[in-house]
Chains A and B, each alone.
Chain A
Amino acid sequence: MIASQKTLRIIYAAVLQQVMEKCQERFLIQNSGLKFELIGVGSREGAKRLLSGEKYDIIALADQALFAELLAPDLVEHYFVFAADQIVIAYNHSSRGSKEITQENWVDTLLKPQVSFARSDHHLVPRGYRTLMVWQLAEIFYDRPGLYSTMEAACLPYSTYPKSLDLSRALFKGEVDYAFLYSSEAKQLGLPYIVLPAKINLSNPAYANYYDQAFVTVESKIPGKNVIIHGNPIEFAVGLAKDSQHSELAQSFVDLLTGPEGSLIIDQCGLIPC
């Protein structure tokens, strides 16, 4: 298929960068001449860009619930869950306490005065509010009243590394000892990480009701207003913009992402293809 002069505009959660680049590479084999504009952003920020009138053909976000909250049905009619993940605590080999940290003692390790840890901005990226949910669930799971507030107070300000890539790069460079990342990011960067219990890492649909206990307030689509988001299993979703100028091509790209080739790529990038 020759698709010269056409440009497919895709806005996606920055954590999907490798997935999107590999899919683009595959797609170009069948669609030589096609141009791509790949724009990696925080998922909440990405959805708001569409709301503000920016035009894209495909939208891939790190939280499927954002489609219902912000985009469907006006801007995106249908959207599909294509990948899952979990929150982990990633570190580097020079992180203080990294030789001792385990799934059992991570709270105490992170709360040591000499240890630094960070999270992303909950207003911009799902990973930011999911980290706060993990802390709330940890407070319940470990029966440690006040843990959530203690973690919040001990964590570096979220404005330090607001977006996904800022934080993972800071950890990679050793600027921070620990960071709450998706397991796929830690795998892609080759960073070691601690897997958290399934009841708090937001990975398992069997605990959907348990996760629902956690909630975070974030800025809504109406400036100056907030919205409460409840915990749910981590699922990434993709949708076609209703006003896409290249809907056929966009559909073909989504078919690739959600088909066997896409599953292989998603798996290679450390996510779980759904």
Chain B
Amino acid sequence: MNEENVEKVNESELTIPIERSIRAELLLLLGQRPSHGYELIQRLNEADFKSGEADAATVYRNLRRMDKEGLIKSHWEVGESGPGRRLYKLTPQGEASLKVWAKYIAQQKAKIENFLQAYFQFEESLTEGEGGVNLT
């Protein structure tokens, strides 16, 4: 495997698929306030918690799926001075799903913290010279 391929493999291993977390992110944004897709894409890309650049196709596809699953509901809102757009709102089922997501993310956070703690101990042991782990 050449150097370029190694870089590609590492990048893909380190990237959490945006499709997985975007549902939680959209549910949270809709919990904060009802929005249409255009605004949601803008809010998502401005959010501190975004997991990557959210493109229009991904956002609209996930909104349609969650609408069909009953996690959100939508209706057409007539624009006062601009175009009418589909307005999305969180449903009680969506709120419950968001709670499950928050619990899952908290568990993942604890796991990551444990991993980092163990890693830093390992890194420290390497710098302790002769007492470090032999990597060969």
Interface residues of A (CB under 8 A from B): 64, 67-68, 78-81, 84, 86, 198, 203-206, 208, 233, 235, 237, 258, 263, 272-274
Query: CA A258 – CA B39 in complex, angstroms?
Result: 19
- B53 and A272 contacting across the interface, CB-CB below 8 Å: no
Size bin of chain B's contact surface? 20 to 34
Can you list 11 residue pairs at the A/B interface with Cβ under 8 Å?
Answer: A81-B38, A203-B56, A204-B41, A204-B53, A204-B56, A206-B44, A206-B45, A206-B54, A208-B42, A272-B60, A272-B61
Residues of chain B within 8 A (CB-CB) of A81 are 38, 83-85
Query: CA A263 – CA B57 in complex, angstroms?
Result: 13
Label chain B's interface by main secondary structure: helix
- A205 and B57 contacting across the interface, CB-CB below 8 Å: no
Label chain A's interface by main secondary structure: mixed
- B41 and A80 contacting across the interface, CB-CB below 8 Å: no
Residues of chain A within 8 A (CB-CB) of B131 are none
Query: CA A13 – CA B34 in complex, angstroms?
Result: 31
Query: CA A80 – CA B39 in complex, angstroms?
Result: 15
- B42 and A78 contacting across the interface, CB-CB below 8 Å: no
Query: CA A78 – CA B76 in complex, angstroms?
Result: 11
- A78 and B60 contacting across the interface, CB-CB below 8 Å: no
Given A78-B79, A198-B53, are A205 and B42 also a contact pair (CB < 8 Å)? yes
Task: Verify if B19 is at the interface (C-beta below 8 Å from A).
Answer: no
- A237 and B60 contacting across the interface, CB-CB below 8 Å: no
Task: Verify if B103 is at the interface (C-beta below 8 Å from A).
Answer: no
Residues of chain A within 8 A (CB-CB) of B55 are 198, 203-204
Query: CA A258 – CA B37 in complex, angstroms?
Result: 14
